[in-house]
Structure 1
Amino acid sequence: MKILPLYEVPYFAAQVIEWLWHEFGDSLPRDFFASIIDHSQTPGALPLSFVLVDGDELLATVGLWRCDLISRQDLFPWLAALYVKESARGQGLAGQLQQHVMAQAKAMGFNQLHLYSACRDFYERYGWEYIGDGLDYPDTLVHLYRIAL
């Protein structure tokens, strides 16, 4: 298994878009996620998307984004859109993806990383610190996290 920037394997972009749309789409159109992925494939620039593959099989994805929560643009950058294919869950892949994004953010000169989630107690086990609640558009309460790099 290996984690690659999506720009090195762009043929996985369509599947990543579908995953993000189905998992995080709620009321957002598929084209919204297509735009994010289309604009996250420039080496060395944010936003970035990464994929975890096993041979030719796509297992997971994650992003390192400038902003993932419009109501908290004061926080920067973000670990975003972490998704592990259902059949690949329970193998520690989410932790591997988090570590990869942390290393990338640190290499880019950032000293902290943020994320938000609708659930509690998942990210804490990876060392993330709960810093309060936020509001996702238009009115969904979410939990905010920070980790020092």
Structure 2
Amino acid sequence: MKIIPLYDAPHFADQVVDWLWREFGDSLPRDFFASIIAHSQRPGQLPLTFVLVDEDQLLGTVGLWRCDLISRQDLFPWLAALYVKESARGQGLAGQLQRHVIEQAKAMGFQELHLYSACRDFYERFGWRYIGDGLDYPDKTVHLYRYSCGAITE
């Protein structure tokens, strides 16, 4: 298994778009997610999308984005759109994807990362610190997290 930038495996782009649209789309059109993915494939620049592959099978994806929550544009950058294929869950792949983005953020000189989630008690076990609630469009309360890129926690 390996985690690579999507720009090194562009044939997975449509599947990543479908996953994000299905999991995070709510009322947003598929084209919205296609635009995000299309613009997150430039080496060394945010936003970036990564994929976890096993030989030629796509198992998961995650993004390192400038902004993932429009109401909190003061926070930067974000671990975003973490998704693991249902049949591959329970194998620690979400943790591998998180660690990869954390390492990428550190390599790019960022001191901290942010994310938001509707659930609690998942990200804390990977070292994320709950920092309060936020508001997702149009009126959904979400939980905000911060990760200090100084050390990776299992």
- Is the shorter-chain TM-score for this pair beyond 0.5, marking a shared fold? yes
Q: Whole-Å Cα distance in 1 between the matches of residues 34 and 71 of structure 2?
A: 22
Equivalents in 2 of 1:35, 1:105: separation in Å?
22
Q: 1:37 corresponds to which letter in structure 2?
A: I
Q: Provide the rounded CA distance (Å) in 1 between the counterparts of 2:147 and 2:109.
A: 14
Cα distance in structure 2, aligned partners of 1:30 and 1:93: 25
- How far apart, in 1, do the equivalents of 2:108 and 2:12 lie? 24
Q: 1:97-136, aligned counterparts within 5 Å? A: 97-136=97-136
Number of residue pairs matched by the alignment: 149
In structure 2, the residue matched to 1:78 is 78
Percent identity of equivalent pairs:
82
What is the CA distance between 1:36 and its match in structure 2?
0.1
Structure 2: which 5+ runs fail to align?
A: 150-154
SS at match of 2:68: coil
Separation (CA, whole Å) in 1 of partners of 2:29 and 2:117: 20
Hey, what's the Cα distance between the residues in 1 that align with 2:117 and 2:75?
15
Q: Secondary structure at the match of 1:27?
A: coil
Residue in 1 that maps onto 2:89: 89
**Scaled by the length of structure 1, what TM-score is found?**
1.00
Q: Determine the C-alpha separation between the residues in 1 that align with 2:25 and 2:108.
A: 29
Give the root-mean-square deviation of aligned CA atoms.
0.2
Partner residue in 1 for 2:146: 146
For structure 1, the residue ranges without an aligned partner over 5 or more in a row are: none
Matches within 5 A, 1:18-57: 18-57=18-57
Partner of residue 152, structure 2:
none
Query: What are the superposed Cα offsets for residues 91-139 of structure 1, whole Å, 9 maximum, x if unpaired?
Result: 0000000000000000001000000000000000000000000000010
* Misfit runs of 4+, over 4 Å: none
Q: What displacement does 1:147 show?
A: 0.6
| Cα separation, 1, equivalents of 2:22 and 2:47 | 20
The 2-side partners of 1:105 and 1:126 are apart by: 16
2: CA distance, partners of 1:147 / 1:41: 24
Residue in 2 aligned with 1:59? Answer: 59
State the SS of the aligned residue for 2:16. helix
